[in-house]
Structure 1
């Protein structure tokens, strides 16, 4: 069965409103991983079914290369 879903997207207006819950800094959208990236906190918040999961306990720590 062929994959018919495109990579997840996030509404640009929503992205403008969202901030990292730890640093209150801006977030960058990573479409390849469906994550919102906080460079200041070095965390990647997942977006599941179009819903940002803005819990630090759910976030992935960014590696040094990221």
Structure 2
């Protein structure tokens, strides 16, 4: 099931790493995954029971190199 978060919330959510880049729903390989993916570093943050877990320790590593690097 795809992540269903309020669009206004999605506008303000950002990656907790130092670059604070915006997040997008799903992953490049699976747009319907219950994950928010950083648009800069590529880490995936799980969404559990509709709540994003924005902890670097809980993030999955990027599946491909970040854009531009």
**TM-score interval, normalised by the smaller of the two chains:** 0.7 to 0.9
**Higher strand residue share:** 1
Which 4+ runs in 1 deviate beyond 6 A?
A: none
Answer with 31-40 or 17-26: which moved more: 31-40
Match of 2:42 in 1: 42
User: TM-score if structure 2 supplies the norm length?
Assistant: 0.75
Query: Unaligned regions of 5+ residues in structure 2, if any?
Result: none
Measure the CA separation in 2 of the matches of 1:18 and 1:29.
11
Larger radius of gyration: 1
TM-score (norm 1): 0.78
| 3-state SS, counterpart of residue 36 of structure 1 | strand
Please state whether the residue corresponding to 1:14 is helix, strand or coil.
helix
